[in-house]
Amino acid sequence: MWTQIAVLAIGAVLTAGAAFWALSAYRRAGGGVRSPLPALAVCGAVAVAALGAYLFIGRPELPDAPYAARLEALKDRDPRSYTVDEALAILNEAAREDTNDPLPYFYTGQLLLDQGRAEEAARAFDMALRREPQMAEALLGLGRSIVGVEGRVTPEALAAFQQASALTNDPAPWIYQAMAAMEEGRDARPLWGEAYARMNADDPRREMARRMSAGEGAE
């Protein structure tokens, strides 16, 4: 973060200095005798140089060093030691290396959703589904992300959960469908029953799902 700010600040100062020099030169020339275009060209060159410095320094989420070198250094580390930003950088590079692979986008979505960045997560899951439309985990992630953004099971989220429920034995899509039915005043008991049937014996949600499927309520 501080690297990015420093580069932009330096670029702004240099560009401002070049602009001041151009204005001074133009005024000394009487405001019309000498063309300001060469000086303005210098301003542009300074701005380009500042941008080049930023691209050389690389991404602000990683330690200062050229971006490619830092990525290579990360690859030599245990992935369990990565920060979230480092993991996202590795996944971004993987997506660039194989543009048809849905997994980097899926794992990016999972990380972002875990960080509470639901809107960004939804975009990542959508990118995964563009590459693998029948990826149940990505459909479930997309639905959860939409719920995180909207605060409810919207029709778009419900459609994602319905598709996921046909592709996986995970009870989660059925739980969300049951929640949507309850929000709409429909009978949710069959949906809770589907969720219950798919839960392991040690699933902490199992008793709640049993009660809901029996019409006993959550208490």
Tell me the pLDDT tens digit for each residue of 6-21.
444 544 555 555 555 5
Domain count, the chain: 1
**Assigned domain for 8 exists:** yes
**Assigned domain for 115 exists:** no
**Assigned domain for 111 exists:** no
Which residue range forms the structural domain that includes residue 37? 2-57
Tell me the pLDDT tens digit for each residue of 61-73.
455 456 566 666 6
**Assigned domain for 142 exists:** no
HEC secondary structure over the chain? CHHHHHHHHHHHHHHHHHHHHHHHHHHHCCCCCCCCHHHHHHHHHHHHHHHHHHHHHCCCCCCCCCHHHHHHHHHCCCHHHCCHHHHHHHHHHHHHHCCCCCHHHHHHHHHHHHCCCHHHHHHHHHHHHHHCCCCHHHHHHHHHHHHHHHCCCCHHHHHHHHHHHCCCCCCHHHHHHHHHHHHCCCCCHHHHHHHHHCCCCCCCCHHHHHHHHCCCCCC
Tell me the pLDDT tens digit for each residue of 121-172.
999 999 999 999 999 999 999 999 999 999 999 999 999 999 999 999 999 9
**Assigned domain for 102 exists:** no
Amino acid at 10: I
HSE-CB of 44 using CA atoms within 13 angstroms: 6
Residue 32 token pair: 């019309």
**Assigned domain for 74 exists:** no
**Assigned domain for 17 exists:** yes
